[in-house]
Amino acid sequence: MAAQTLDGKATAEAVRRDLAAEVSTLREQYEVQPCLAAVLVGDDPASQVYVRNKRQGCEAVGIRSVLHRLPAATELPRLLDLIDRLNEDRSVHGILVQLPLPRGLDEAAVIERIDPIKDVDGFHPVNLGLLAAGRPRLVACTPLGIRVLLRRAGIETRGRRIVILGRSITVGRPLALLLSQKGPDGDATVTLAHTATVDPAALCREADVVIAAAGQPELVRCDWIRPGAVVVDVGIHRRGDGSLCGDVHAPSVSQVAGWLSPVPGGVGPMTVAMLLHNTLQAARLQIGLLQGNESRPGS
């Protein structure tokens, strides 16, 4: 039997409707309009599309967005100077520097320059540290989006064996921390597999939930998946013929899995929705309404 669809597009739409109402309440009660500053360095076509989608997402829920474009040849001091100005600007609540940066620009230095309270990507070591300490504040958007996608589909994580493929700072590592947190939407037994893992297929076959964020096209095949398991595909790749695929070989895995997230229309729209959530959270933090990431997005 074919797997049920983990529909990120529909779920993100529902989340955005809720967010629009929350943004409107904030504007009425506190006269504050959340604002995202996006920084795009260079002219990578994929990055341009991602930033455009993020800005459109903002505008659709009443969040203001401003774009700062810098040439590919920008040197680090100039980029850091822009971040300093955005950190100081009280009308800006969230700062997003689109990655990857052109070669030669130190991404870690750039991320660390962002004021952690405006770090809507959740990549700053302070925000990763708070998550690791069990006190999440601004959490990376893709991990947060996956958690909401599972919750809204009614998929329990408590006590489940979850294998995550990929240990990136943007997805795998924060996701492992999030799903193993104590409490609702956590409490999973998480294995974080990576390029040095011996026999990832055997690990996946034991799992109730497999989350593929390895960055390898169609890595996960149907013989990796236990019948009925939940499979979340974080990858997005363009094949030679122009079509898209993920880290999961969807035609075969969908015949075995109980649930599968499609590419496109799965995790991607959830990531954008969580960026909007984080921008609203950042605004609330900055006007003193919250101490930490107290609301559960999309609950």
Find the binder of ligand GUN among 170, 254, 278, 286 (CB under 6 A). Answer: 170
Q: How much is the CA Rg of the chain, to the nearest whole Å?
A: 19
Instruction: Using the minimum distance from each CB to ligand GUN, give the nearer residue, 143 or 298.
Output: 143
29 catalytic residue (yes or no): no
Find the binder of ligand GUN among 60, 67, 76, 99 (CB under 6 A). Answer: 99
Tell whether residue 96 is a contact of ligand GUN (CB under 6 A).
yes
| Binding-residue total with ligand GUN (CB under 6 A) | 8
Q: Which of 119, 121, 185, 247 is catalytic?
A: 121
Instruction: Using the minimum distance from each CB to ligand GUN, give the nearer residue, 215 or 258.
Output: 215
98 catalytic residue (yes or no): yes
Beta bridge partners of 35: 64
Residues 107-136 contacting ligand GUN, CB under 6 A: 121
Instruction: Using the minimum distance from each CB to ligand GUN, give the nearer residue, 86 or 141.
Output: 141
Of the listed pieces 12-20, 92-100, 195-203, 247-255, which binds ligand GUN according to CB under 6 A?
A: 92-100
Find the binder of ligand GUN among 15, 19, 83, 141 (CB under 6 A). Answer: 141
Could you give the CA distance from residue 193 to residue 214 in angstroms, rounded to a whole number?
Answer: 9
Residues that bind ligand GUN (CB under 6 A): 96-99, 121, 141, 170, 271
**Residues labelled catalytic:** 54, 98, 121
